[in-house]
Amino acid sequence: MSDTPPDRLCNNPKSKFYDEDMLERGIGIRFNGKERTNVDEYCVSEGWIRVAMGKARDRFGYPVLTKLSGVVAPYFRDVAEGGEVEAGKDWEVGGEAAGEASS
């Protein structure tokens, strides 16, 4: 596998930019110099991320997303931490880890 994250990635399985192998590896996002854990989709070349707007849902049950523009710097968490990342606990969905249940 490459040590360079993809230019664009989404964690919604219905998106054409969804890549399960990359998500299992663990992607971290730095947006405008700050670590973001609630990113649903990003694009480096266009300089934007999509994040959920609170607990709001659309009529299909998906989170309502807003697009923020700025400097996007994705990285692989396993490379940054120097070890392996537990699959399913790395990509954050709406502020919660993908493998965790909300309480």
Tell me: pLDDT of 96 over 70.
Answer: no
pLDDT of residue 80: 60
**d(Cα 26, Cα 22) in Å, to the nearest integer?**
7
Residue 82: which pLDDT band, with cuts at 50, 70 and 90? low
Sign of CA dihedral 89, 37, 21, 60: positive
For 19-40, write each residue's pLDDT tens digit.
999 999 899 999 999 999 999 9
Q: Tell me the DSSP string of 67-88.
A: EEES-EEEEEHHHHHTS---TT
What is the pTM (predicted TM-score) of this model? 0.73
Angle at 9 between CA 99 and CA 103, to 5 degrees: 25
**d(Cα 77, Cα 29) in Å, to the nearest integer?**
9
Secondary structure in 3-state letters for 10-31? ECCCCCCCECHHHHHHCEEEEE
